[in-house]
Structure 1
């Protein structure tokens, strides 16, 4: 038997192989907890897919929240290079989330029906992290606090988020600090309320786009925001098509209209003036 055919032993090259009293890969990542978190309530084969797809999405959203909060703080402090890196990362997180729908779409209506009744009234629109993402970005529908009233600490976390300027609010304040006037009523508005599209804000972004050499940093910020919302919109669209493919036009388990509810969400614009200004250019 030649040396080439002998099993490779990493220990001979110094790899650590004994972890008694040492932190291993599984210890650091708490793999036991993660792998013990899947608790199917039926014997249906595809329930495991359904659980893991949603759990991994929640993990990616946790990272998105981490990055978005840091990006917002960076914009607030005029620290733009890190903010741009974080926004680019969040866009790629949502690219990853988009790919997850491709896996879930391998489940057919017949397979979903085998365990759908076990979900009770649970539904994705009740995701506290998704709601936090939307609130950070500026989609501040206060009615969506209600599904979290039974968990006071979560309700408080989301309510506290409503008291802070959104990511887009901070972008507009940055715009104003850098010589592109934004109306005072926009800058001092009640941040708990939904931002309403403004022709004055649209004209402010128009100034940036028409003189990119002068306002390069603001131009880069604008495109980072558009890039992110582009991925976010695709995620919403893929959500709609996945749901329609699996349950058609049935009502959602949480009582929403299902596809009709999700299609309504497609109309929500996070950074409206950045899209509207393109018509003027």
Structure 2
């Protein structure tokens, strides 16, 4: 006779009331530091839309930090030949990018008049000056020494970005892994000047085509996880472009950039380029 599994399950006791009295702060505050986060919103104008812009921008910055963390962890896993661990981190980061993209929704509904109501409060401030976003781009292979210039007055941040500029990108570590697995990645790519932006390679394109033509496995899974990240990052750039066009048209950006034309140029650039072009040969 088979025992009824439900009869052996413990009966849940009535839920206990949560503890309400803590000395000093609460464990939640000690861990999350919520009061610090909530103290960072310092509006300059009385326009309520400025608070939305400020909070959403700060949320984006937190996501930038999270993505840098995930991609550096991805690199650690790749260097240890732990592809499953790298896949986990890449898939998490693709989900983070989707959440990051959602932050544009309220900002993308701003009319020029609404944005102008607090735009002067930004002064020369611009997202172009975000150190965490620059670190993200460097990890994706979007390298440029000139982009360090805005951060020269913050030595610690400048040093961090200078190190990231000279270090391998996530894709550099992927190519090194493919070479270790016996794929014919050109030696000059493995020893290239890492401070320069990555340029597409016909040989790497054929490597990915061969991986995709073969039996599905962890390397094709790696290609798809990287493509998910590239797609979500490109969509984020496009969302930024559309939100900017809607709020300010073709006017000069707050930080003195060309605004929409600069964003259009960046949005046309593919991250992990051979993963897109190799599909034509599969």
Aligned length in residues = 269
SS where residue 103 of structure 2 aligns? helix
Moved over 4 A (4+): none
Q: Partners in 1 of 2:65 and 2:168 — Cα distance?
A: 20
Q: Equivalent residues in 2 for 1:28-39 (5 A)? A: 28-39=31-42
Unaligned runs of 5+ in 2: 1-13
Of 192-201 and 123-132, more deviation after overlay is shown by: 192-201
SS where residue 46 of structure 1 aligns? helix
How far off is 1:76 after superposition? 1.0
**1:246 matched to 2:247:** yes
How far off is 1:107 after superposition? 2.5
Q: CA RMSD in A?
A: 1.4
Q: Partners in 1 of 2:106 and 2:27 — Cα distance?
A: 30
Q: For the structure 1 residues 22 and 100, does the alpha-carbon distance in structure 2 shift closer, same or farther, using more than 3 Å as the test?
A: closer
**1:60 matched to 2:63:** yes
**1:45 matched to 2:48:** yes
SS where residue 59 of structure 1 aligns? helix
Q: Which residue of 1 aligns with 2:221?
A: 220
TM-score for the superposition, normalised by structure 2: 0.92
Q: Which residue of 2 aligns with 1:7?
A: none
Instruction: Answer yes or no: is the 8 Å Cα contact 1:122–1:254 preserved in 2.
Output: yes
Q: Equivalent residues in 2 for 1:155-166 (5 A)? A: 155-166=158-169
- One of 177, 184, 188 as aligned partner of 1:185: 188
TM-score for the superposition, normalised by structure 1: 0.93
Of 190-199 and 13-22, more deviation after overlay is shown by: 13-22
SS where residue 23 of structure 2 aligns? coil
Q: Partners in 1 of 2:24 and 2:60 — Cα distance?
A: 33
Q: Partners in 2 of 1:250 and 1:189 — Cα distance?
A: 38
Instruction: Answer yes or no: is the 8 Å Cα contact 1:67–1:87 preserved in 2.
Output: yes
Of 112-121 and 48-57, more deviation after overlay is shown by: 112-121
Q: Equivalent residues in 2 for 1:191-202 (5 A)? A: 191-202=194-205
**1:96 matched to 2:99:** yes
Instruction: Answer yes or no: is the 8 Å Cα contact 1:180–1:207 preserved in 2.
Output: no
